[in-house]
Structures are given as structure tokens and as C-alpha cells.
Amino acid sequence: MTPDMPQQRQTEAKAQANLGEVLIVEDTPTSLRLLASLLDQAGYKVRVAHDGELALWSAQAYPPELILLDVRMPGIDGLEVCRRLKQSAQLRDIPVIFLSAQSDTEDKLRGFEAGAIDFIGKPYQAPEVLARTEAHLALARSQRALALANAELTSTMAQLQATREDLQRAERLAALGTMVAGVAHELNTPIGNCMLCASTQDQRARDFAEAAASNRLRRSDLNAFVDYTVQASALLLRNLVAASRLIDSFKQVATGQAGSVRCRFDLAHLLVEVLGCLRPHLHAAGVTLEIAAAPGIVMESYPGALDQVINQLVRNALIHGFHGDASGAVRIEAATEDGQLTLACCDNGAGIAEGDLARVFEPFFTTRMGQGGTGLGLHIVHNLVTNVLGGTIKVTSGGGETRFVLRCPCLAPALEVQRLPVTGTPDLATSGGVSS
């Protein structure tokens, strides 16, 4: 072979820094010299080995980026060298180009089997040697870069996942902390009242018993003791009822009606029942009720959950919206489209401040702290709507109207189905509405 590379190109190539490290394994000294000088002049860092054993040692000691390997050599031949390279985890990715007689198809087949990536035929043609060397080095380098980028991506993904899990854990802990603090805070008042009441009553009972034992008891003492006992019992009972209601609310937050059963019912019928119970409260507050429900809406859902949702929304309108205003009004709208129920509860009360709108469904968010507000009502509503009814609930407030809009499927997602007969549609005004 005669390296037919122009002088100028050789000099330019030489001037470029390390194009790649190549190990040439060839037992014929002239061929070895020619190949080495061609690649050296082209700018590659060249190492040589005269036999298979030396090639393996050299590759092991300092892995090259590419190996040009003669197939036929005395001792360990090229095929065996290649097989051993491919068995080593450290060396298996180094591309091996076999050097063999152009016509020797047998050599080529066995070479590919042993793990060769390409062949260069003898007698060598300089452009072919250079082109194949350059191509496979570039390929190997881009593969290595890709593997590296892949490994970095995998590790970044793992880090991201770990960070996300940490964040979720921290969020859960923070939510748990808020929950526990809220529960403790809410229960503290009624239980503190009970303790104060019971300890005072305890002291009074001891004094009473002592006075009775020493015959110092007067009729007025007895009357005062009975009076106090009646008051104390009433106070105890009131506070215990408050505590027990709170515990009921907490239980609802935790279980979200897990045990409820899905059944078939008429929505208008349910509205009459639920709103019927609320009418006296609305009436007492001077608030009118209007119902605009399309007739014949049949649901296969959870009436208990829907009942609670409507109750909470209307009670909230009463508690938070109106303070003895003469023209207070609550309006319930219901309609279906494509198997989806849209139920809205609107009032023309005080409204919700813009900054509070995003927080009203949070547990323990209340603007009536210390005035009987637990801040659990809308949180329970949200849980019921999303976890039980399989829907969504949104709120808007402005322009004199606060509007809670619930959307859920008429056929709720179910675990158990219990079919009840559809009850007749009660006499409900539809578009015009009914006033309380």
C-alpha cells in the first residue's frame, strides 16, 4: 500500500490534536508500519501490537478507542482476540475492525460472529482505511456521549423522583400537622369548658358533703347547690355535644362516606326533602328560597352525600351571607346534559373576599374563628363531591352573587349498586321556582 494522501492534508491532520487512540494489531511488520504511519500522519494516536497476546495486554492496560485487528496471526489469532475483548465488561464496547484479505468471505463471516464492527480489505487502500477509521471512531464517540447523557438523565430522573417523594412526604406531614393542630384547637374549647365546669362542680360537691357531715347545712345551701348543679350539667352537656359534633365532622373528613351505598333516586324528590328541613331556618332568617330544577332528573348516585352537600352550602349561605338583611335569597338550580348533573347553590349575601376564594375548601379555613366556625364544612363538601359523587365543585363570588357549582355524573362511580324504585316527581316549580 502507498499512502496517497496529499502532503498538505497530512500536515494539517497532524496539526490537529488527538483524533483518537487506535491500536493496530498486525503480525506482518511492513503492513504494520504502513498502517501506523498512515494513521499517525492523519492525526491519530497510534499504538501497535505484533501478536494477539500483546494486543490483549495493551488493550487491558490502556483501552484504546478503536482496534484494527488482523484476522490471521500465529498464536492467538484475531478472532480469538476479538472474542476475549467482547467478554470483558471494560473492553467490550471498543469497536474492532478486522484486517483481512478482500476476497475472504469466510474470515468476514467469522469476524462478525466474533464481534467485529467492520472490515478493511488487504491490500490496504489509504482512503478506505482513513474513512472507516474516522467513521467508526466518530460512531463510538457519539455512542459513548449518548450513553453518558443517558446515564446523567437516568440519575437526574432518579434525583427528581426522590425530591418529588421528599416534597410529597413534607407536604403530607405539613397537612397532617395542620390537621392535628386544627383538631386540637377546635376540641380544646369544649373540653376546656367541660373540665372547668366539672372541677368546680367537684369542689362544690365536696364542700356540700363536708357541710352535710358536720350538720352545718342550711336550706339555702341546698338550693344553691341544686341550682348550680342544674346549670353545670347543662353547660357540660352543651360542650360535650359540641365536642361530639366536631368529632363527627372529623370522622367525615377521614372516611368520606366510604360505607355509603349507591342507589337510584329522583333529584327533585331529594331536593324537596333536603330543602324542606332547611326551610324553617331560612324562614327564621328572612331568606327566600327559589328552586329551579329541571323535572325528571334521575340519579344513580349517593343521596346521603348529595343531601350533606346541599345542607352545608345552604347553611353556609345563611351563616356567612346574611345578617338579618331583608332581601336575602338563596337559589338552587339543577339541570343535566350528556349524563352530567350541574347543581348550583347561589345566594345574594355578603359574598366571599377574592383572597379567600381559593382557600374556602381547605380544612380549617374559616372567617368565623371563635364564633362556632370549624372551617370543615366546605372541606367535607369537597371530599364528598370528589371522592363519593365523582365530580367537581367550584365557587365564584362577585357582582352580588356567590355561586357554588357542582358537576357530577348522574351515574356515580360505584362499588356497590342497590336499586330502589324511582319515586314520583314531586310538585316542584321548575323554571319559575318556588319561594319559601
Ligand X SMILES: Nc1ncnc2c1ncn2[C@@H]1O[C@H](COP(=O)(O)OP(=O)(O)O)[C@@H](O)[C@H]1O
Taking contact as CB under 5 A, which single stretch among the options 105-113, 142-150, 229-237, 311-319 is the one that binds Mg ion? Answer: 311-319
User: Does residue 43 interact with ligand X by CB under 6 A?
Assistant: no
CA 363, 365, 366, 371: dihedral to nearest 10 degrees?
60
| Residue with Cβ nearer Mg ion (316 or 348) | 316
Set of cell numbers at residue 81:
482476540
Residues in 358-377 at the binding interface with Mg ion, rule: CB under 5 A:
377
Residue 368, binding choice from ligand X, Mg ion, none, Cβ under 5 to 8 Å by partner class: ligand X
Beta-carbon count within 10 A of 303 CB: 21
- Structural contact between residues 73 and 52, judged by C-beta atoms closer than 8 angstroms: yes
Residue 174 carries which side chain, given as an amino acid letter? A
Binder of residue 97, out of ligand X, Mg ion, none (CB less than 5 to 8 A by kind):
none
Q: Is 302 or 364 the residue whose CB approaches ligand X more closely?
A: 364
Q: Which does 347 bind (CB under 5 to 8 A by kind): ligand X, Mg ion, none?
A: ligand X
Q: Please, what is the angle between helix 126-213 and helix 29-42, to 10°?
A: 60
Q: Is 164 exposed, middle or buried (0-12, 13-18, 19+ CB in 10 A)?
A: exposed
> Of 78, 76, 75, 49, whose CA–CA distance to 61 is shortest?
49
Task: Considering the complex, state which of residue 137 and residue 289 has its C-beta at the smaller distance from ligand X.
Answer: 289
User: Which residues 315-354 are close enough to bind Mg ion by CB under 5 A?
Assistant: 316
**Complex with Mg ion: residue 133 or 316, whichever CB lies closer:** 316
Furthest-apart CA atoms within the chain: distance in Å: 135
Tell me the residue nearest to Mg ion as measured from the CB.
Answer: 377
352, 389, 408, 412: which one binds ligand X (CB under 6 A):
352
The least distance separating ligand X from the CB of residue 311, rounded to whole angstroms, comes to 11
Measured distance between the N- and C-terminal CA atoms of the chain, rounded to whole angstroms: 108
Q: How far is the CB of 386 from ligand X (least distance, A)?
A: 15
Least distance (Å) from ligand X to the CB of residue 431? Answer: 24
Note whether 407 and 395 are within 8 A (CB): no
Q: Is 349 in the site for ligand X (CB under 6 A)?
A: yes
Binding segment for Mg ion (CB under 5 A), chosen from 203-211, 221-229, 243-251, 310-318, is 310-318
For residue 226, the minimal CB distance to Mg ion (Å) is 38
The CA–CA distances, whole Å, from 194 to 74, 181, 239, 294 equal: 101, 20, 6, 49
Q: Which residue type does 213 have?
A: A
Task: Name the residue nearer to ligand X (CB basis): 136 or 331.
Answer: 331
The 148-187 site mask, x for binding ligand X (CB under 6 A), equals ----------------------------------------
**Within 274-333, which residues bind ligand X (CB under 6 A)?**
316-317, 319-321
Q: In terms of Cα–Cα distance, which of 415, 392, 421 is closest to 262?
A: 415
State the cell numbers at 256: 368520606
Q: Decide: residue 432, CB within 10 A, 0-12 exposed, 13-18 middle, 19+ buried.
A: exposed
Residues in contact with ligand X, shown as a per-residue x/- string from 362 to 401 under the rule CB under 6 A? ---xxxx----xxxxxxx----------------------
375 binds, among ligand X, Mg ion, none (CB under 5 to 8 A by kind): ligand X
> Which of residues 36 and 360 has its CB atom nearest to Mg ion in the complex?
360
Q: How far apart are CA 1 and CA 5, in angstroms?
A: 12
Write the DSSP assignment of 382-435 as a string of letters.
HHIIIIIS--EEEEEEETTEEEEEEEEESB---SSEE--PPPPPP----SS---
Q: Which of 294/319 has CB closer to ligand X?
A: 319
Picking from 373, 381, 415, the residue whose alpha carbon sits closest to that of residue 305 is 381
Could you give the string, one character per residue 376-415, with x where binding to Mg ion holds by CB under 5 A and - elsewhere? Answer: -x--------------------------------------
Q: At 165, which amino acid appears? A: E
Residues of the shown chain interacting with ligand X in the complex, contacts defined by CB under 6 A: 316-317, 319-321, 347, 349-352, 356, 360, 365-368, 373-379, 402
Q: Where does this chain bind Mg ion (CB under 5 A)?
A: 316, 377
